[in-house]
Amino acid sequence: MDGILVIDKPQGITSHDCVKKIRKIFGVKKVGHAGTLDPLATGILVVLLGKATRKFLDFSGFDKEYEATLTLGITTDTGDIQGKIIKTLPFDHVRRENVLQAFNNFVGVIEQIPPMVSALKYHGEKLYQLARRGIVVERRPRKICIHSLTLTEYVPPELNFKVKCSKGTYIRTLAEDIGTMLGCGGCISSIRRIGLGPFKIEEAIKLEEINASHLRHQ
């Protein structure tokens, strides 16, 4: 069986967990996904079955769009609210105009240092595997592109935003960098991928509802 599925990944499971479930539903051994979402994140996950797995690079290269919440004043060891808190700072000086000014500094081509909690490899081992053992290694900055960054709501300490970005962009790192620029730190408390190339969240299928009728043949 060959084709693709556009899944709305729920929170609390890994992308690999989704692949395992799809493999079981369809009885297909060759299953993969394009564009990893960590357990905290929800939203579009493209799953490839059979011969469609050969098109992995086509899907992984797409631009992406997210909705996310940044919680100000809290810095964690993972860059998200589920990590260990390593610092807290006051945020009462941050006004809406400060946030908008900070956002302007991140639009366009910028350099970003990948987080330790990522699937990038260092000497053959994934960074998040090293991070779990308390190992931190030097990561080189990578060029990414933030096409747009829009503030949708600001109710301190939380600010909600939408971002359209190139592949290789880490939203938790973007949030941390924004928090640093605002002088209070910050971490991601929610993240949802609502766009991946031509795919939109409105057409994604919930994992528990998937059946053969949802398979798009390629």
Residues with active-site annotation: 38
Interior CA angle at 94 toward 92 and 95, to 5°? 115
Question: 12 in the Ramachandran plot: left (φ > 0), alpha (ψ -120 to 50) or beta?
Answer: left
Residue 32 CB neighbours (<10 A): 19
Residue 103, amino acid? F
Instruction: Give the 3-state DSSP-derived string for 77-105, with helices as H, strands as E and coil as C.
Output: CCCECCCCEEEECCCCCCCHHHHHHHHHC
> Closest Cα to residue 139, out of 149, 128, 151?
128
Q: Which two tokens stand for residue 148?
A: 């747009």
